[in-house]
Amino acid sequence: MQNYCKTIGAMAAASALVAGNVQAEVEYEIHTGYSSEYIFRGGDLGDNLFEVGLDASTEIAGLAVSAGAWSGFFESSGATGNEIDAEVDLYAEVAKDFGFVTGAVGYIYYWNLGSLGDNFQEVYFSASRDLGFAQASLTYFWDVNGDNDGYTELALGRGFALSECLTLNVGATLGYMIEQTDFTALTGKVSLDWAFVENAKLSPFLAVSVPLSDVGGTYTEGSGNELFAGSMLSVAF
């Protein structure tokens, strides 16, 4: 589960085929990484997350179209040390820049292969804008399989170019669950993008998650303050 702008390889291939018909260029990115803890929307799902993903993006008739797949393997919370869980996320998004704001509609399918529970789907609606001092976005996630157990996330972030190959990124997110009328967690993250070769970068990061609620039915139920770190390797082509 990533907050992730995240569809399967078949959908990516379909996007590439359509893009080819309209003379549009398709960009791909492969990424893999490790995180000391698996934190999703402020909730602690486990330890030692190893992940890998593939994304594809293009522009069709003025619309930014992207799709991809993400897979993660991790130790379940309360595991004895050899209990490994797995998850696959499939996602797609269409976005449009209206000038004053960029709007997006997306879909995520969460395929849980372990103890996380049943598979489920979300449709999300997002609005983002460059405020100058930061890039801001507000996203509403609608649980297709449930009873509209909606989750809303406000995000702020900014990158600072330190050199031609180093960029410092800082960001924060605040989650809110509508049905529970409660904030869930405040998460902050600092990462450093090192473009060590053309089209590839290594991004170590440090993050902290602070739950704002322990109400039943929220993502942060039973979770505490978490400090975690990791790194991501990305290659674009």
The tens place of each residue's pLDDT in the chain, 237 residues long, gives: 554 433 333 333 334 434 444 457 999 999 999 999 999 999 999 999 999 999 999 999 999 999 999 999 999 855 455 578 999 999 999 999 999 999 999 999 999 887 767 888 999 999 999 999 999 999 999 988 766 568 999 999 999 999 999 999 999 999 998 888 889 999 999 999 999 999 999 999 999 999 998 777 778 877 889 999 999 999 999
Global pTM reads: 0.85
Residue 143 C-beta-side C-alpha neighbours within 13 Å: 14
What pLDDT digit, counting tens, does each position of 84-129 carry?
899 999 999 999 999 999 999 999 999 988 776 788 899 999 999 9
Q: How far is CA 194 from CA 11, 35, 127, 166, 204, in A?
A: 30, 18, 29, 5, 9
Give the 3-state secondary structure of residue 222: coil
Cis-peptide into 91, omega within 30 deg: no
* Residue 212 to residue 42: CA distance in whole angstroms: 9
Q: How far is CA 68 from CA 36, 205, 211, 222, in A?
A: 24, 22, 29, 31
* Residue 119 to residue 110: CA distance in whole angstroms: 6
Mention every residue, 6+ apart, whose C-beta is less than 8 A from residue 131. Answer: none
Nearest one of 143, 12, 173, 2 to 72, comparing CA atoms = 2
What pLDDT digit, counting tens, does each position of 139-150 carry?
999 988 766 568
* Residue 110 to residue 87: CA distance in whole angstroms: 7
Nearest one of 103, 179, 116 to 142, comparing CA atoms = 179
Percent of the chain residues past pLDDT 90, beyond the cut: 70
pLDDT at 125: 98
* Residue 202 to residue 195: CA distance in whole angstroms: 7
The token duo for 209 is 């998650």
pLDDT at 15: 40
CB atoms within 10 A of CB 83: 14
Is the Cα dihedral 35, 39, 44, 49 positive or negative? negative
The answer to whether 122 touches 141, Cβ cutoff 8 Å, is yes
DSSP assignment of 71-109:
EEEEEETT--SS-EEEEEEEEEEEEEE-SS-EEEEEEEE
